[in-house]
Amino acid sequence: MIGVAHAACFRWKSLRALVPVCMLLLSACSERDTAMRAPPHPSAKIQPVYVATTRELDKTGPAFGAARSTELNFFRVDVSVPPTHEAGKIEWAEGEPDARTDFVVTNTQLYDSATALARSVQRATPERETMVFVPGYNNTLSEAMYRLAQIRTDFNQGKPAVLFSWPSAGDPRGYIYDRDSVLFARDDLEHVLKSLTEVPGEKVFILAHSVGTHLTMEVLRQAALRGDRQLLNRISGVALMSPDIDPDLFRRQAEAIGKLPQPFVIFTSKQDRALGLSAILSGRKPRLGVVDSPDEVKGLDVQVVDFSEVSDGKGLNHIVPVTSPVAVRLLKGLISQSERAGHWMGDYIVLQKSP
Confidence at residue 63, expressed as pLDDT on a 0 to 100 scale: 61
> Considering the entire predicted model, what is its pTM?
0.90
- Summarize pLDDT for 289-318 with one digit per residue, the tens: 998 888 889 999 999 999 999 977 667 899
Can you give the C-alpha Rg of the chain in angstroms?
20
pLDDT tens per residue across span 244-264: 999 999 999 999 999 999 999
Report how far residue 347's alpha carbon sits from residue 304's, in angstroms, rounded to the nearest whole number: 6
Whether pLDDT at 2 is above 70: no
* pLDDT exceeds cutoff 70 at 41: yes
Q: What are phi and psi of 101, to 5 degrees?
A: -130, -15
* Longest distance between any two alpha carbons in the chain, whole Å: 75
Q: Among candidates 238, 309, 297, 228, which has minimal Cα distance to 270?
A: 309
* Mean pLDDT for the chain overall: 87
H or E, element range at 115: helix 114-124
Residue 3: pLDDT over 60: no
Q: Which residues fall within 8 angstroms of residue 154, CB to CB, at 6 or more apart?
A: 87, 88, 322, 328
Say whether pLDDT at 24 is over 50.
Answer: no
| Residue percentage of the chain with pLDDT more than 70 | 87
* Residue range 195-208: mean pLDDT, rounded: 96
Structural contact between residues 266 and 254, judged by C-beta atoms closer than 8 angstroms:
no
pLDDT value for 342: 81
Domains annotated for the chain, with CATH where assigned, are 36-350 (3.40.50.1820)
* Higher per-residue confidence, 21 vs 233: 233
Q: For position 355, what pLDDT does the model report?
A: 55
pLDDT of 12 above 80: no
* CA 95 to mean position of chain CA atoms: 28
Of residues 123, 126, 148, 124, the one with CA closest to residue 53? 148
Q: What sign has the CA pseudo-torsion 234, 160, 116, 168? A: positive
pLDDT band at 66 (very low <50, low <70, confident <90, very high): low
pLDDT higher than 90, residue 233: yes
Q: Which residue has the higher pLDDT, 338 or 46?
A: 46
Say if residue 14's pLDDT is above 50: no
Percent of the chain with pLDDT over 90: 65
Q: Kindly report each contact of residues 116-119 with a partner whose C-beta sits within 8 Å and lies 24 or more positions away, as own/partner.
A: 116/74, 117/50, 117/52, 117/74, 117/75, 117/76, 117/162, 117/195, 118/195, 118/196, 118/198, 118/199, 118/202
Give me the mean pLDDT over the 190-213 stretch: 96
